[in-house]
A = this chain, B = another copy of it.
């Protein structure tokens, strides 16, 4: 059943990529529907690059399964992770024609991939899609602004923020499965891996969290975590 869906996506996609009109898609369709209908399901191996900074921004992605990090490498070699994407998130959206960050799979992933040129040309006449593109960019902007606010905080506050952010974006109970390594977290928070580790230990010492396994954290006192934020 899944295979069938994938194949169908392929054929729809090809139709439109070949320039044939597709009334239901091009008229009253939103961005998410467009990706679901026309996106090509693609598997990506753990740690594989999905696209690289400064490459032509050829595709737009919706993450189905797994997790993705986007990052920039600064000229001294430091890596700044700009965002983590979880299932359901759209990524790879660029206004300009080059990617401004690189994207990598954190694990084996499944994504829906759609040609940017298709989306952009549909957007010319489809206001809903243009609005969705705006909307998606605005969501990214809010995340980036939160990230700025995060980076001026202390190490402990950054880690607390990070745990809450991940918690809110996942199932949102008190159990938290982190898909990324300590190094990824450190590069996202602008800290060293040792500082992340120490902050987690400190939060555990104050009974705020419990690090059951290194990738599995229980939030024992979310109020205390929230009190650390701004």
A interface residue numbers (CB < 8 A to B): 72, 74-76, 78, 80, 82, 95-96, 100-101, 123-127, 130-131, 133-135, 137-138, 140-142, 144-145, 147-149, 151-153, 190, 229-230
Contact = CB atoms under 8 A, between A and B. Distances in A.
A124 B126 CA distance: 10
Q: How many copies does the complex hold?
A: 2
Nearest to A77: B230
A149 B72 contact: yes
A75 B137 contact: no
Given A76-B230, A80-B152, A229-B75, A100 B145 contact: yes
Contacts of A153: 74
Given A134-B134, A144-B145, A148-B148, 4 more contacts: A96-B138, A100-B142, A130-B134, A133-B134
A135 B95 contact: yes
A49 to B, nearest CB: 19
Contact of A80 (B95, B133, B142, B149): B149
B95 A138 contact: yes
Contact of A141 (B80, B126, B144, B152): B144
